[in-house]
Structures are given as structure tokens and as C-alpha cells.
Amino acid sequence: MTSEFGIVNTIFLTSERNSFSGVPAPNVPPPPMDVDNNEASVHLPQVSGSTFTEAAGTILEADIIASRLRVSAFLSAHTAYELLPESGKVVALDINLPVKQAFHILYEQGISMVPLWNGAQFVGVLSAMDFILILKELTNRGSNLAEEELETHTISAWKEGKAYLKRQVDEQGRAFSKPLVHVGPDDNLKDVALKILQNNVASVPVLHSPSNDGSFQQLLHMASLSGILKCICRYFRSCSSSLPVLQLPICTIPIGTWVPKIGESNRRPLAMMRPNASLSSALNLLIEAQVSSIPVVDENDSLLDIYSRSDITALAKDKSYTRISLNEMTVHQALQLGQDSYCSFELSRRCQMCLKSDSLHKVIERLANPGVRRLIVVEAGSKRVEGIISLSDVFKFLLS
């Protein structure tokens, strides 16, 4: 088709739900055989043709659009059911379970989010951020992080208290919780990814109900952007040339959060901290900056480690939360506490790095690995932090 960009390949997407029927859209290469790993709306970055033309030479904006259309077509033609592993387990907690037990379960199972069951249906999730807020609330009230304090409070009581803290009350002043964000096994992967992005969550439960009224819910899986990205990598691995955008260096495209350059005032700052910072200040920064992790750097801003929201569960080890003060424990000490229980594989995947000259394809392949949620962009040699690219950054770019 002739357009203002010249001769381009155009993909037409129909609106009927069943029009794909598992068949790739026109001009999309067939799948390779047996190839192997807060707001209601999301403002996605826009790409200008001149930026890509200057950075990538022959790469045209039409190629970028075509790449996004191919990804969109693939995600629209596949469902959440395909994310389910052949063998695995799912964990759910009763909402009347004491908070202390829930804290230990998340640590022992190595998970950062779990759905909640009230005896009849799934009503919410408990995450690592809940424990951050609980420990901060106890500290603000001047309470010691006593075991009894967490033993006497149930998950249900915490959720009600959290609703009051967030002023989620009805006209009668009664607390109410937001509806559970979930998907069904027949929802397409594009809708699943957008639901995760729009609700600013790490994962969503895949629920199935055999009845029309939604009763007798079955928890099948916890869908995440990592699992969806893994599907994309499998599909396009043998035909990556069909997605020209993957060959672009990450520094030439609007993706991720970067350290502002001198004179730049309109760019969101990248949150970083020193290893001797207090754990309390680190938790405050996670809450205020609304980020899932913070690079830990030395005086030269060279990367040492990374502190993530999920690291809070390490305080459950040997009931450490009963013996520490958030204001006195340093980030370095908190990380050491957690690393004592990590195996060498978990340690190696904690702090994944890349260079700004790396291609988007290389970044995506690394992010598709199990347990990797973000890459720290560092300067070659010095390891000075230059930016950070997360799973959500990749999907915001690909689905814009």
C-alpha cells in the first residue's frame, strides 16, 4: 500500500472476537514449531518518526507501527489459558488468617502476592506492599513490631483498616474494598496485559467459574507480564526480523526511566539510595515514588544492589521483624538478611543489568527469564546507573 511513508505493508485487524481463530494476521510469520522462557488509565509514550529515523537510519516509523500491530495481533489471538503451566501450584489464603501467618507463608513460598478467599469467593489479594504498610503503620504508632501485634490482627481486619486509611468509605462511613482485579482463561493476552498496566499491579488471578452466576470460583494461575512476554519471545524468536523495533538500541526509544541529564527538568527522576540509608527511608521511598524497586548505589552512583518491595518478606525469617527497628536497620543489613536465604541462582537474577546500547530484543529476552522483573541500565566499566527498564515499561511501549 502506498502511503506518506512510501510503500509499506499494512495489517488489517478485524473487530470480531473470533475472527483470528488462532490464525496469524496477514503478513505475520507463522509460529515456529516447538520453539523454546493506580490509575484507571495508562498514558503510553508516543513515538515520533524523526526520532527513529535519526537513530536507526533506515528504520521507518511504519516499521515501528507494523511491529506493534504484529505484537497486538499475536496477543489478541491467544488467551490466558495458554499461560497455565503443564505442572505447577497456586497459593491462596483465607481472609481470616492472622497477618503473622500470612507474612511467613509469603516468605516460605517465595511469592510477593497471593489471592484471598472468604469462604465463598476470591475477594482481593495480599501483597508485599501490604506488609510494608503494616510495618510502617506500627512504627508510626510507636508500637514495637511484636509478634503478638501481628498475631491478633487478621488479614480481614487489616484490609478494613487499610480502606479507612485510604478513605475508602461509603455514605454511612463504612469501609469498602475495591473489586478484585481478575481475568478469565478465555480472555486474550492483550486484554490481560492492559488490565495489569491499567491497575498498576504485578499480576492478576486467572479465575474460572463453571456456573453462570460466577460461583464456585477456581483459581487456575497468577498471570503476569513476565509470562506474557515469554509467550511473545517464543513466538517471534525464530522470526525476530518481522519486528524491526527489536533491533533498535534502547537509548533511542521512549522506554524506561532514566537519570536526567544536566539541564533536563521535565524528566521523572530516577530514585536511588545509599546502602547506609535506613530501611524506614527505603520503604518511604518505595511508597512515595510508587516504584517496585530502588537501585542501591555508592558515592559514585555505581550499582551495588537493588532493594525491591518483595524483599520485605525476608523480615519473616526467624521472626526478624520482632527484633529490629526500621529506623535503625540499614538497607545493606536488610539485604544481607535476605541474601542469607537465597541460593546462588536467586542471587544472580536479583540484579540484572544491561547497557543503553543493547537492543530491545536483548532486553526482552532477559526480562522473559523467570524472576527477572527489571533491568538496571549501567555505564560500561563503572557500572554507574543510567536508567531502569521494567516489564511494564516494555508493554507500555509495545502496546502504545
- The alpha carbon dihedral of 249, 252, 254, 256 has a sign of positive
Grid coordinates of 121: 469467593
Element (H, E) at 322: none
Cell numbers representing residue 22 in the block: 488462532
Helix, strand or coil, per DSSP, at residue 208 = strand
Check for a shared fold between 80-229 and 245-399.
yes
**What's the burial of 242, exposed, middle or buried (CB within 10 Å: 0-12/13-18/19+)?**
middle
* Closest of 288, 308, 304, 293 to residue 385, by C-alpha: 304
∠ CA 223-224-225 to the nearest 5 degrees? 140
Locate 352 and state its grid cell: 540484572
Percent of the chain whose pLDDT exceeds 70: 75
Cα torsion through 59, 364, 72, 267, rounded to 10: -70
Residue 358 has a pLDDT of 95
Cell of 295: 537501585
Angle at which helices 360-367 and 391-398 cross, to 10°: 130
Q: Which helix (DSSP H) or strand (DSSP E) does residue 347 occupy?
A: helix 344-350
Angle made by CA atoms 392, 394, 399, in degrees to the nearest 5: 95
Cα–Cα nearest to 387, from 311, 291, 287, 244: 291
Q: What is the pLDDT of residues 321-373, one digit of tens each?
A: 878 888 999 999 999 887 755 544 454 567 899 999 999 999 999 999 888 99
Q: Is 98 helix (H, G, I), strand (E, B) or coil?
A: strand
Q: Please state which of the four CATH numbers 3.10.580.10, 3.40.1310.30, 3.20.20.220, 2.40.30.10 is assigned to the domain occupying 80-229.
A: 3.10.580.10
Domain parsing of the chain, residue ranges: 80-229, 245-399
Mean of the pLDDT values across residues 4-33?
46
pLDDT given for residue 221 in this prediction: 95
Residues contacting 104, CB < 8 A, separation 6+: 316
The per-residue pLDDT for range 135-173, each reduced to its tens digit, is: 888 777 665 545 566 777 899 988 887 876 666 666 666
| Torsion sign over Cα 370, 229, 286, 348 | positive
Helix (H) or strand (E) holding 364: helix 360-367
Query: Do 375 and 360 meet the contact criterion of CB atoms below 8 Å apart?
Result: no
Asked whether 373 and 346 are in contact (CB, 8 A), the reply is: no
CATH architecture of the region 245-399: Roll (3.10)
pLDDT of amino acid 218: 93
Q: Are strands 113-117 and 93-94 parallel, antiparallel or unpaired?
A: parallel
